[in-house]
């Protein structure tokens, strides 16, 4: 176990970023079409091809998921991932035609550090293609890919990932691009809200503070409509239907509530994708899914904290300091 979403067999992750731009894209590529669904809680989402993830819709499997900075411009990243998949002969078959299915979600980093004057066409299609082309089992965390320009209210945000096994041996992994309106740490200090779920000191091992500061529960946000969003993907090797994947996404959303305060605000575009690579059937459809969802929420919380813990300030004017800059000594 690498403590990454790629501990789930059947998927790979790739990043591409442009530090001058201060933004990037992340691609999750599935070896074979995967069952997926989505749960959306934020008040300002930006998505593509997510309607087909409803259990009532026809398409049963997706080929990839694209996550990107750039707000609505970043939805072009999915076209780049789609282009790469088409070159590999992947896609939903309609007689002789194949259409790669690539749902996508974006976060708002247009006001973060970096030069966003890209000219006529935004660069996200090329970033999406590059992310797909470099996808592998090992991948970086922190200020990379879709997390390049991500921020929270007090620390640089970024890409995080974590994994776990259920008592029955199913693998559950999560990847998060953390760009929250709220805070991942308690009262602007070094302690993570997700501390009770930490494994093996993966985000510093500091636990909760001995006592909570007086202002710990005072909501503080970045402000600015649509400047935020946490994007998460939770994956499992269990065999699920689309309806079961939907329930997994709903349960996994609790991980955002365990790691970010406040969360699911009108300023956020929070979404959780749930994906099943279908390597093992559930012995008990109800109790098995319940356990998967409980573990998934914990793994999402850990991935969010790891994303902030691993992030580095961008070498650009106006960049927000990282957790390491403030508390790493």
Q: What is the pLDDT of residues 283-325, one digit of tens each?
A: 899 999 999 999 999 999 999 999 999 999 998 888 899 999 9
pLDDT in tens, 89-137: 999 988 989 999 999 999 999 988 889 999 999 999 999 999 999 999 9
Spatial CA neighbour of 306 closest among 175, 212, 216: 175
CA torsion angle 248 143 2 126 (round to 10) = 80
In whole angstroms, give the CA distance from residue 17 to residue 130.
9
Percent above pLDDT 70 for the chain: 98
pLDDT value at residue 224: 56
| Residue scoring higher pLDDT (41 or 77) | 77
Given a cut of 90, is residue 44 above it in pLDDT?
no
Domains of the chain, first to last: 5-315 (3.60.70.12)
Q: Is 28 left (phi over 0), alpha (psi -120 to 50) or beta?
A: beta
pLDDT band at 227 (very low <50, low <70, confident <90, very high): low
pLDDT in tens, 67-95: 999 999 999 999 999 999 999 999 998 89
DSSP strand pairing (104-106 vs 62-68): parallel
Percent above pLDDT 90 for the chain: 81
323, containing H or E segment = helix 323-327
Is the full-model pTM beyond 0.85?
Answer: yes
């Amino acid at each position: 176990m690498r403590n990454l979403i790629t501990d789930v067999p059947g998927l790979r992750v790739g990043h591409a970023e442009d530090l001058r731009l201060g933004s990037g894209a992340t691609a999750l590529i599935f070896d074979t079409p995967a069952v997926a669904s989505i749960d959306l809680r934020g008040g300002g989402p930006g998505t593509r091809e997510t309607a087909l993830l409803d259990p009532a819709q026809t398409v049963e499997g997706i080929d990839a998921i694209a996550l990107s900075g750039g707000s609505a411009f970043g939805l072009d990243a999915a076209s780049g991932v789609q282009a790469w998949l088409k070159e590999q002969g992947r896609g939903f078959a309609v007689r002789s035609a194949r259409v790669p299915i690539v749902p996508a979600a974006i976060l708002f980093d247009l006001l973060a550090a970096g030069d966003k004057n890209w000219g006529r066409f935004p660069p996200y299609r090329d970033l999406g293609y590059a992310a797909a082309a470099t996808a592998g089992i090992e991948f970086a965390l922190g200020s990379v890919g879709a997390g390049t320009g991500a921020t929270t209210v007090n620390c640089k945000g970024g890409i995080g990932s974590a994994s776990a096994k259920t008592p029955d041996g199913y693998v559950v992994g999560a990847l998060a691009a953390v760009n929250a309106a709220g805070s991942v740490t308690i009262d602007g200090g070094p302690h993570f809200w997700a501390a009770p779920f930490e494994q093996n000191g993966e985000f510093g091992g500091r636990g909760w503070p001995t006592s909570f500061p007086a202002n710990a529960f005072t909501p503080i946000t970045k402000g600015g409509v649509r400047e935020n969003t946490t994007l998460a993907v939770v994956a499992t090797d269990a065999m699920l239907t689309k309806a079961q994947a939907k329930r997994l996404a709903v349960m996994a959303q609790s991980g955002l509530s365990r790691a970010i305060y406040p969360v699911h605000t009108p300023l956020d575009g929070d979404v959780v994708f749930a994906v099943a690579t279908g390597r093992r059937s559930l012995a008990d459809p109800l109790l098995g899914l319940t356990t998967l969802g409980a573990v998934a929420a914990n793994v999402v919380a850990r991935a969010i904290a790891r994303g902030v813990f691993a992030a580095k300030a961008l070498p650009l004017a106006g960049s927000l300091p990282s957790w390491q800059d403030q508390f790493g000594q």
